[in-house]
Amino acid sequence: AQSVAQPEDQVNVAEGNPLTVKCTYSVSGNPYLFWYVQYPNRGLQFLLKYITGDNLVKGSYGFEAEFNKSQTSFHLKKPSALVSDSALYFCAVRDGLDTGRRALTFGSGTRLQVQP
Amino acid sequence: DTGVSQNPRHKITKRGQNVTFRCDPISEHNRLYWYRQTLGQGPEFLTYFQNEAQLEKSRLLSDRFSAERPKGSFSTLEIQRTEQGDSAMYLCASSSGLAGVTGELFFGEGSRLTVL
């Protein structure tokens, strides 16, 4: 079974400060990891993914995420937050085993509030 | 707009009635997914199609739920004899090629179901 935990319901950060949104995961094989963002009245949007290779992956809008296998974590980061980054962020995982399964398991989401 | 389109956007129905949602994926995408999202939770996987073949179904998809994708283009999700617990946002996503294998999905804005 695969699972994702996002321990913070909400993260508050001042504009210009660095931000971190936490995610830990559990899968049987090697993980495929993702971050998606949901703006109000908009569909979920893909931000970035880790499949293999460099542990630091870069994505859209200046976001990046660091894969840490020993800690089974995939935290989302940004060096300098913008008010427009305020949204709901979801971490997701899929087992990389070649089972043919395509279902992503999402976390419960973390609401990011960036104050001006 | 060439994104994923879902209709209707909102549906209010009485318990026991049947409802059907439609999803039009991005035209060149051969993979289509249905997810369900309730308030305060992340999306939960329901089912997955590759072309017209339904390849994966979640245990969440009870006998009252049926999904089809005739001709491998648009898809419908029907819920029979709706219950109040079916109230949720139903999300459709599509992908193509390697993106579908590795999990980069394009989501529609969802169809919100309220069962009275």
pLDDT for residue B103: 65
Interface test with B, best of A6, A38, A44 (most B CBs within 10 A): A44
Are A57 and A98 within 8 A, CB to CB?
no
With b for 16 or more beta-carbon neighbours within 10 A and e for fewer, the A31-42 pattern comes to bbbbbbbbeeee
User: Does A111 reach chain B within 8 Å, measured CB to CB?
Assistant: no
pLDDT for residue B109: 94
Q: Which helix (H) or strand (E) holds A77?
A: strand A73-78
pLDDT for residue A29: 82
State how beta strands A10-14 and A110-115 pair: parallel
Per-residue pLDDT of chain B (116 residues; tens, 9 = 90+): 579 999 999 999 999 999 999 999 999 899 999 999 998 899 999 999 999 999 989 988 889 999 999 988 999 999 999 999 999 999 999 998 666 566 689 999 999 999 99
pLDDT for residue A30: 85
pLDDT for residue B37: 95
pLDDT for residue B100: 57
pLDDT band (50, 70, 90) for residue A68: very high
What is the spatial distance between Cα A64 and Cα B109, in angstroms, rounded to a whole number?
25
Q: In this prediction, what percent of chain A has a pLDDT beyond 90?
A: 76
What is the spatial distance between Cα B87 and Cα B39, in angstroms, rounded to a whole number?
10
Q: Please give the DSSP secondary-structure letter assigned to residue A7.
A: -
List the single residue in B with minimal CA-CA distance to A98.
B101
Q: What is the pLDDT of residues A92-113, one digit of tens each?
A: 998 776 666 778 899 999 999 9
Residue of A2, A33, A77, A65 lying closest to B44 (CA atoms) = A2
Tell me which chain A residues have a C-beta less than 8 angstroms from the C-beta of B106.
Answer: 43, 46
What is the spatial distance between Cα B2 and Cα B99, in angstroms, rounded to a whole number?
17
Q: Does the pLDDT value for residue A61 go beyond 70?
A: yes
User: On the CB side of B66, how many CA atoms lie within 13 Å of its CA?
Assistant: 8
Residue of A32, A36, A108 with shortest CB distance to B102:
A32
3-state SS track over chain B:
CCCCEEECCEEEECCCCCEEEEEECCCCCCEEEEEEECCCCCCEEEEEEECCEEEEECCCCCCCEEEECHHHCCEEEEECCCCHHHCEEEEEEEECHHHHHHCCCEECCCEEEEEC
Q: Do B103 and A34 count as a contact with CB atoms less than 8 A apart?
A: yes
pLDDT for residue B71: 86
Are B32 and B75 within 8 A, CB to CB?
yes
pLDDT for residue B98: 65
Q: Which helix (H) or strand (E) holds A31?
A: strand A31-38
What is the spatial distance between Cα A83 and Cα B73, in angstroms, rounded to a whole number?
38
pLDDT for residue B25: 96
What is the spatial distance between Cα A36 and Cα B111, in angstroms, rounded to a whole number?
19
Mean pLDDT (chain A) is: 92
CA separation, residue A74 to residues A51, B23, B90 (Å): 12, 31, 27
